[in-house]
Structure 1
Amino acid sequence: MTGRATPRSGALFERAQSVTPGGVNSPVRAFSAVGGTPRFIRSARGAWLTDVDGHEYVDLICSWGPMLLGHAHPEVLEAINEAVARGTSYGTPTEPEVLLAEEIVARTPVEKVRFVSSGTEATMSAIRLARGFTGRDVVIKFAGCYHGHVDALLASAGSGLATLAVPGTPGVPASAAGETIVLPYNDRAAVTAAFAEHGDRIACLITEATPGNMGVVPPEPGFNGFLAQTCRDHGALFISDEVMTGFRATREGGWGLDGAVEGWTPDLMTFGKVMGGGFPAAAFGGRADVMGRLAPEGPVYQAGTLSGNPIATTAGLATLRLATPEVYAALSATADTIIGAVVDALTAAGVPHAVQRAGTMFSVFFRDGAVSDFAGASTQDTAAFAAFFHAMLDAGVYLPPSAFESWFVSAAHDERAVATVLDALPIAAQAAAKASA
């Protein structure tokens, strides 16, 4: 692992470790899964990141999804600057939050929306609302789906398919995890068994519209519709977590890939990332009767000082208004080109791999055969990925520093950016082959 010289990133990382746990404010940024020194980024524009040592990288994480249009988009910046000039936070209702809510309602099946400041807050609030609406306590989730660091959702599977879970991390009380059932993803029989045993206690089932936190693992055909109907049959609510896929996978989010076609709708949805335009913003929404249980209309309490912040909602609104069908077509074409080149390079190098996709987002699994659940994702060759990652980084391409993350492109990935990625792939594939030999 030679790489570009990064003395300034190294020095900053050393300083950060003395004042911040692990030197980072979100674990994957530490490069623990791939080794080496995390790059401290100084600036970003279009499809490019520039680190504190002056190196440029084509960005294939796009802030983990939000930068749909690319970094520092001039029209988004103009809207943000105008909003900042009027003040940064009021603690009162504002027009941008109404306009952004209307935009979300127009693109998705939700009828009402409540803004919060993070995806974790959105899923936490949606589950509280589901419990308050149904009067039940048990939650079902799937192994490999990440819904933020909510205690009840950081749970590991119990000893059987329909058993209650155990804490998945220190700091989570058994009482918090004990009302959660963790099932294998894409497993209809496990879902049926769980509802047969616990159906009258289940408040909700939550799932990513297309899981993207174990790599992209699409639902099998009809699976989400099956979940929606099963919840309906048992009086539970179906929560589709679109913090990652919302307005990223398609114009309508992950729901646009199956629900809009098959004719089913979730009871509640969560959103984040793209809808904040790069600012800390998220939301949850759903059926009007369910959302009507929230305070001040109903008894389920939820509040937030910075919820609906005027700068964040302005950035999100500008981003969504600019995210036209033509933009999604361009994103899809760029993803097509990169995916094709990845497959060609890894095939030529003899590296086992599977590329999986949800609209404009995709990921590469370093293993043979398609992946349908977390157990399958866990069998990939992480050493091969680490070698591939560092070879790409050395060539000026910034990939997610984990084999279990999604890759993202933006509307700003032009011919130069894509050519840089394509030029880097053959050498990176050879590095992966050597690491897996």
Structure 2
Amino acid sequence: MKKGTSFGAPCLLENVLAEMVISAVPSIEMVRFVNSGTEACMGVLRLARAYTGRSKIIKFEGCYHGHADPYLVKAGSGVATLGLPDSPGVPRAATIDTLTAAYNDISAVEELFKSHKGEIAGVILEPVVGNSGFITPKLEFLEFLRKITKENDALLIFDEVMTGFRLAYGGAQEYFGITPDLTTLGKIIGGGLPVGAYGGRRDIMEMVAPAGPMYQAGTLSGNPLAMTAGIHTLQRLKEPGSYEYLNRITGDLIQGILEAGNKAGHAMCGGYISGMFGFFFTEGPVHNFADAKKSDTAKFGRFFRGLLEEGVYLAPSQFEAGFTSLAHSLQDIQQTVAAAERVFQRI
């Protein structure tokens, strides 16, 4: 901080963190830093359209890719929690090229590619959904998306704002063994400071100015404070045992909560991968947003408030995944499960 927090110009630290991100994430050969996950998703959408010369984009119901106009269609998370089907202030022209399908639904995507042949720039998705609650993909769904995008000269985009560096050091794409064309990342790469990034194949990223004609910039992008935090965060995550520890404490947490809830007579389901978890007040299984909406949101509200009274603060929405971190201790997890057991008896 003594050296300065923002210069409005490139700094050496950007190169250091960029090389770390490139070495970690399978799909990324070049990377552009921005200030948030929303900015990353805005940039990657413009890039996909610029590279392919097409306008239409496929997203999935309940997936959230930031608050840019084209993405606020069946967006999940905060929009779902507040009961807003879309958002006021978004003109029809901004979303006319956004196509939607149910998550994990292969036939729906096939139909969209058939009815909009030669018009689709790309498919963007959360490789593990975090904005409809925690929903895992079927592996055959991810494999199908990789195949159909290649066959149609469209781009596959993983929004790893939530999953990046959480499921594995190389993100969900390393965990599932599926390499997209482009990837977005969020504040996790800067230790929680305001930072994001998008990256991918070199031939695509070279479309971005100043190397190419697609313009995107930001005065605070790649600022030295966020870059320093990012370098130290990734160094810490790369230490042996980091992800094994995350997997252990997250498993103890979600299994403890589900066992306590079922024991108290509440219909629940849920799961976890490494540092990401979620649960629903429904029997399940939950494969998409429609399944997630079957949850008893009133009961979740009582559970949330009960835990808050016990000193435990979860995300205040049934439709939001949770995260553990290396800062959480085994004692933190045990105390949380014990608090949940007490709350389940009251709700």
TM range (shorter): over 0.9
CA distance in 2 between counterparts of 1:236 and 1:275 reads 27
Q: Look up the match of 2:252.
A: 337
CA distance in 1 between counterparts of 2:120 and 2:338 reads 51
Structure 2 gaps, min length 5: 76-84
Q: Give 3-state SS (helix, strand or coil) of 1:113's partner.
A: strand
CA distance in 1 between counterparts of 2:337 and 2:287 reads 28
1:268 equivalenced with 2:186 (yes/no):
no
Report the CA distance between 1:273 and its aligned residue.
Answer: 2.2
Q: Residues 277 and 319 of structure 1 are in contact (CA less than 8 Å); yes or no, is this contact kept in structure 2?
A: yes
Q: Look up the match of 1:170.
A: 88
Mapping of 1:10-409 within 5 angstroms? 84-109=1-26, 110-156=28-74, 168-259=86-177, 264-323=178-237, 324-409=239-324
Q: Give 3-state SS (helix, strand or coil) of 1:398's partner.
A: coil
CA distance in 2 between counterparts of 1:99 and 1:250 reads 20
Q: Give 3-state SS (helix, strand or coil) of 1:136's partner.
A: coil
Deviates more, 1:420-429 or 1:105-114: 420-429
CA distance in 2 between counterparts of 1:396 and 1:223 reads 39
Q: Residues 247 and 273 of structure 2 are in contact (CA less than 8 Å); yes or no, is this contact kept in structure 1?
A: no
- For residues 82-108 of structure 1, give each alpha carbon's deviation from its aligned partner in whole angstroms, at most 9, with x where no partner exists: xx0111111221121111111111111
Q: Look up the match of 1:423.
A: 338
Q: Give 3-state SS (helix, strand or coil) of 2:94's partner.
A: helix
Report the CA distance between 1:156 and its aligned residue.
Answer: 3.9
Q: Look up the match of 1:414.
A: 329
Q: Residues 217 and 357 of structure 1 are in contact (CA less than 8 Å); yes or no, is this contact kept in structure 2?
A: no
Q: Residues 9 and 219 of structure 2 are in contact (CA less than 8 Å); yes or no, is this contact kept in structure 1?
A: no
Report the CA distance between 1:337 and its aligned residue.
Answer: 0.9
Deviates more, 1:390-399 or 1:134-143: 390-399
Q: Residues 25 and 169 of structure 2 are in contact (CA less than 8 Å); yes or no, is this contact kept in structure 1?
A: no
CA distance in 2 between counterparts of 1:348 and 1:384 reads 16
Q: Give 3-state SS (helix, strand or coil) of 2:215's partner.
A: coil
- For residues 387-435 of structure 1, give each alpha carbon's deviation from its aligned partner in whole angstroms, at most 9, with x where no partner exists: 1111111111111111111111111222331221122021111233xxx
Q: Residues 346 and 353 of structure 1 are in contact (CA less than 8 Å); yes or no, is this contact kept in structure 2?
A: yes
- For residues 28-68 of structure 1, give each alpha carbon's deviation from its aligned partner in whole angstroms, at most 9, with x where no partner exists: xxxxxxxxxxxxxxxxxxxxxxxxxxxxxxxxxxxxxxxxx
Task: Give the fraction of aligned pairs with identical amino acids, expressed as a percent.
Answer: 45
CA distance in 1 between counterparts of 2:150 and 2:341 reads 49
CA distance in 2 between counterparts of 1:296 and 1:320 reads 27
* Residue identity matched to 1:85: K
* Residue identity matched to 1:431: R
Report the CA distance between 1:251 and its aligned residue.
Answer: 1.5
CA distance in 2 between counterparts of 1:98 and 1:247 reads 19
Q: Residues 89 and 306 of structure 1 are in contact (CA less than 8 Å); yes or no, is this contact kept in structure 2?
A: yes
- For residues 324-364 of structure 1, give each alpha carbon's deviation from its aligned partner in whole angstroms, at most 9, with x where no partner exists: 24111111100111122112210111000001223320101
Q: Residues 387 and 431 of structure 1 are in contact (CA less than 8 Å); yes or no, is this contact kept in structure 2?
A: no
- For residues 183-229 of structure 1, give each alpha carbon's deviation from its aligned partner in whole angstroms, at most 9, with x where no partner exists: 11100000000001112000111001111011111111221121121
Aligned length: 336
Superposition RMSD in Å: 1.3
TM-score (norm 2): 0.94
Report the CA distance between 1:114 and its aligned residue.
Answer: 0.3
- For residues 222-264 of structure 1, give each alpha carbon's deviation from its aligned partner in whole angstroms, at most 9, with x where no partner exists: 21121121111001111110011100122211112212xxxx4
Report the CA distance between 1:305 and its aligned residue.
Answer: 0.5
- Which structure: larger Rg? 1
* Residue identity matched to 1:319: T
Q: Look up the match of 2:81.
A: none
CA distance in 2 between counterparts of 1:188 and 1:196 reads 12
Q: Residues 257 and 359 of structure 1 are in contact (CA less than 8 Å); yes or no, is this contact kept in structure 2?
A: no
CA distance in 2 between counterparts of 1:332 and 1:225 reads 25
Q: Give 3-state SS (helix, strand or coil) of 1:200's partner.
A: coil
CA distance in 2 between counterparts of 1:136 and 1:108 reads 26
Q: Residues 161 and 184 of structure 2 are in contact (CA less than 8 Å); yes or no, is this contact kept in structure 1?
A: yes
CA distance in 2 between counterparts of 1:327 and 1:401 reads 28
CA distance in 1 between counterparts of 2:240 and 2:50 reads 38
